[in-house]
Amino acid sequence: MAGINWLDLFGALDRFLLAVANEHGALAYGLLFLIVFAETGLVFMAFLPGDSLLFVAGAIAAGGALQVVPLAGTIILGASLGNALNFAIGKWLGSKIYDGSIGWINRRSLDRTHAFFEKHGGKTLIAARFVPVVRSFAPLVAGASAMSPQRFQAYSVTGAALWSIALVGGGYMFGNVPIVRDHLGTVLLVGLASAFGPVMLLGVVRLVRGK
């Protein structure tokens, strides 16, 4: 995609999505699908934007650059298929994901997700959808735990639908509010802080306690 600054994907999502939507039209949906699919389906791509991407996309849809219904549907499809791929990988790897022999799996994130899954079962797939990084590991753990595919799909699609409707809908609802529209970058930073702030704080607390 010529003329697109890919670094904006991590620093200026509103500018990035507007540029893609204005210059490439319907291809913007395909790009959003690929980002959500990769962030959900491949654990080593968990660094890609998730919650913030959906909210900003919804806000841009409120301005008319994207259509909200196809947008929400694209997100649900990408998240569901990404989950299915991740589940299949987890099922294929089985217990190997826990023995430390697979270098591209973040052990700390895996252990955190596994503990969450042990406590909450299939509902983890719905709750984890709203937790960065954990949502990328939850399907992998479900597959390795031999969860039934039918049960997995039910939780997976439900979580994907709730995630898409809540965040795309939130961005669409508030995207035309002047203070949000004019300060979308600030709103994005606040959203990132609220998503990753508790995780960073927990890490600092553990570090201090360890010392």
Residue 187 makes CB contacts below 8 A (sequence gap 6+) with 55, 180
Residues of the chain whose pLDDT is less than 70?
Answer: 1-14, 99-101, 103-104, 175-211
Distance CA 58, CA 66 (A): 8
Q: Is residue 2 part of a domain?
A: no
Compute CA distances 47 → 38, 120, 142, whole Å.
10, 25, 21
Confidence at residue 86, expressed as pLDDT on a 0 to 100 scale: 92
pTM of the model: 0.76
Number of folded domains in the chain? 1
Q: Is residue 3 part of a domain?
A: no
Q: Is residue 52 part of a domain?
A: yes
The answer to whether the CB of 60 falls within 8 A of the CB of 21 is yes
Q: Is residue 60 part of a domain?
A: yes
Residue 68 makes CB contacts below 8 A (sequence gap 6+) with 58, 61, 62, 168, 169, 172
Confidence at residue 159, expressed as pLDDT on a 0 to 100 scale: 93
Q: Is residue 211 part of a domain?
A: no
* pLDDT tens digits, one per residue of 71-114: 999 999 999 999 999 999 988 887 777 766 676 677 777 777 77
Containing structural domain, residue 117: 8-206
